[in-house]
Structure 1
Amino acid sequence: MLATGGFVAAPVAQAARAERVPLVLLNQDAPPGKANRWIAGRAASIYTTADVARAGWERIPPVVRRAALASGDARDCRGRLGLDPDRPVLLVTGASQGSRTVNEFAAAFAEAHADHLRAGGWQAIHQTGASDNTPWREAWERAGVPAVVEQFFDAMGDCWGAADLAVSRAGAGSVAEVWANRVPTVFMPYPYHRDEHQRLNAEPLAKAGGAVVAKDAIDAAANLADAGTIVLELLRSPSRRATMRDALAGLGPVDGAARLARALLDDA
């Protein structure tokens, strides 16, 4: 049985142990959470996509779902989203559940820097989460910036493929998708985790030069002064974005799923 982590995996892992079914753990966060540490003590094999210094934990590249991989070049992806294929795109995402503070930051940024966004021909993709996205849609409209604003995108790969720059949370899945699609990104880790695991998730990409980690100060004005300054600088610098994209490419292939599948088949 392959456990992919989190508290929902623990009861199933215990059932596998009781039935004497071999148990394998895939850890995707740094540091691993309580459930993953508990499962690890009962697993026959442990694989981790995060940098975890624990004996017996084998490091593999990130695991990325197929729908989160760009299925064409930037022009193709922009066209499928109804955007101008030849204009740059800023992607804002709080991951699948969305993020109120990331949404508020995006709205504040659009208002404060509308002139620059329009002058640069920028477009936006904004994934807001399940709450009412009318305020965020209206913020881009007031700024005069063409934007696709949705609660959720099934084909998230088109969003990454269309993007020249992203603002994102730093959950394991988001970090893996940034790596896989080579999108220069300003990460705003979730601010309420005591172990700061989202910040730790993003650090390898930042150390490689492919991303910047900004603190989510929760307050939109404070985020505008910090993360907003970083985003504005990157919007103005195609050369730096190109360098960041090259740095992400240098991290190597994102083939963790294939490696894990081969390992499971070899052990079967």
Structure 2
Amino acid sequence: MKESIVIAAGGTGGHISPGVALAEVLTEKKEVFSVSEVYIHSLLRNKDNPDLQSPPCEVIWHNSPQFRGMRALIYPFLFLLQFTKTCIAFQKRKVTAVIGMGGYSSLPAILYAILFRKKLFLCEQNCVPGKITRYFQRFAVKLALSFPTRDPISSKIPYKVIGNPIRKKIIPQTMGIRQNENLHEGRKNIVNVLVLGGSQGARQLNNMILKTTENPDVFQKFRFRVLTGTSLYDETLSKSKGSTEIISYANDMKPNYEWANLVVARSGAGVIAECLVFGLPMVLIPYPYAADNHQKENADYIEKEGAALTIHSTSDDPSLLVKYLLTWKTNPDELKEMGHNSLRLSNVNAAYQTISYFFPH
């Protein structure tokens, strides 16, 4: 019997992007994995997400409420309404398996799998398993991890550390490239620094970089490209000076990764995984208010493996970043070594390997 599979890839880009990567594999390899249909289940508010503009399969939209900030008496009724719609949509499409990517928006699909005794698989992107993984792993057939987790997974649950699934459009044309082997020889060894605050931007990162560029020794050696986030573009542009390149957002990130020798970013699992496949060293500045402080754990793991340095701060004080950059100015071999470690941790085939783990063929 062929599978009809729903990928519950909901709330944020960190859940959507790997979910779309899995959908790409399943739609291309239907016969290999004995699949009849593939669907993505995502929130209606994600319609403008770049990864869902031209999805590889049908998207089933839903509008499940988030409990946070909602009156407790109202939430059950709103959730029940959306869950009922989900059940009707899944029954109509004869869904036989659900892959949950995490986040509250995957809850209706997961509950459907449990209630109607369908196969349930879970993907966990972060070093600290989210609530969905912690609460529902015991119902899962298998669990796929992007990184080793801080807390041990139950020995009763089959799991495997595979890596975060990467979309096809991100994967480098030439596998195994190392961005820092020559550090742009012929350009006076200028180091290109890509700054990523996420689609919503990060004022802290933007301001830290602008202050960093005021250091003449840094300015001499490093060139910066800052993806500010659309809401912070005008503000950051008005403050910028010199040759710092200010961009609001990029739908196609591959050219930016190919340009970069170094990335300064938050430590979401998606950004980290993309930097790894390009062999990029990182300076990670975890978002301090992330659920369960998972960004800190992600950053600490990558630093421990030698692919990044971290800055644990809520201020835009540039002193530590300046210190790192000036160290690399006189010792670029450290950047090269970090790049090698980054590439060592990468897995460009994580999407295919995850599907193969869930549906052996």
Shared fold (TM-score, shorter chain, > 0.5):
yes
Superposition pairs for residues 157-172 of structure 1, below 5 Å?
157-172=254-269
How many aligned residue pairs are there? 250
Q: Secondary structure at the match of 1:106?
A: helix
Pick aligned residue for 2:201 from 98, 104, 107: 98
CA deviation map 1:140-180 (0-9, x unaligned): 4x2x2241x22221111221121111111001111111211
Contact 1:71-1:161 at 8 Å conserved across structures: no
In the aligned structure 2, how far is the partner of 1:235 from the partner of 1:187? 19
AA matched with 1:258: Y
In the aligned structure 1, how far is the partner of 2:320 from the partner of 2:224? 20
Gaps of at least 5 residues in structure 2 are 1-97, 180-186
AA matched with 1:62: N
Does 2:230 match 1:134?
no
Contact 1:202-1:213 at 8 Å conserved across structures: yes
CA deviation map 1:17-43 (0-9, x unaligned): 223221100011121111221231221
Q: Secondary structure at the match of 1:67?
A: coil
In the aligned structure 2, how far is the partner of 1:196 from the partner of 1:2? 24
| Residue 194 of structure 1: how far off its partner (Å) | 6.0
Alignment CA distance shift 1:97-1:39 (3 Å): farther
Q: Give the share of equivalent positions with the same residue, in percent.
A: 23
CA deviation map 1:201-256 (0-9, x unaligned): 123321221111111x22223xx122332234234432111111112223353321
Superposition pairs for residues 142-221 of structure 1, below 5 Å?
142=241, 144-147=242-245, 149-193=246-290, 195-215=292-312, 217-221=313-317
- TM-score under structure 1 length normalisation: 0.84
Contact 2:218-2:325 at 8 Å conserved across structures: no
In the aligned structure 2, how far is the partner of 1:15 from the partner of 1:204? 34
AA matched with 1:155: D
| Residue 262 of structure 1: how far off its partner (Å) | 1.4
Pick aligned residue for 2:112 from 15, 18, 22: 15
AA matched with 1:165: L
Q: Which residue matches 2:224?
A: 124
Does 2:351 match 1:249?
no
Q: Secondary structure at the match of 1:266?
A: coil
Contact 1:104-1:220 at 8 Å conserved across structures: yes
Pick aligned residue for 2:356 from 243, 262, 266: 262
Contact 2:201-2:232 at 8 Å conserved across structures: no
Alignment CA distance shift 1:70-1:234 (3 Å): farther
Alignment CA distance shift 1:137-1:66 (3 Å): farther
Q: Secondary structure at the match of 1:204?
A: helix
Alignment CA distance shift 1:153-1:183 (3 Å): same
Q: Secondary structure at the match of 1:250?
A: helix
Does 2:155 match 1:35?
no
- Between 1:55-64 and 1:28-37, the stretch displaced more is 55-64
AA matched with 1:161: E
Structure whose CA Rg is larger? 2
| Residue 45 of structure 1: how far off its partner (Å) | 1.2
CA deviation map 1:50-82 (0-9, x unaligned): 2122123321122222333344676xxxxxxxx
Higher helix share: 1
Contact 1:184-1:245 at 8 Å conserved across structures: yes
Alignment CA distance shift 1:145-1:65 (3 Å): same
Gaps of at least 5 residues in structure 1 are 75-83
AA matched with 1:66: K
RMSD: 2.5
Contact 1:62-1:255 at 8 Å conserved across structures: no
Contact 1:92-1:125 at 8 Å conserved across structures: yes
In the aligned structure 2, how far is the partner of 1:235 from the partner of 1:173? 28
Q: Secondary structure at the match of 1:26?
A: strand
Alignment CA distance shift 1:4-1:70 (3 Å): same
Q: Secondary structure at the match of 1:23?
A: strand
AA matched with 1:29: N
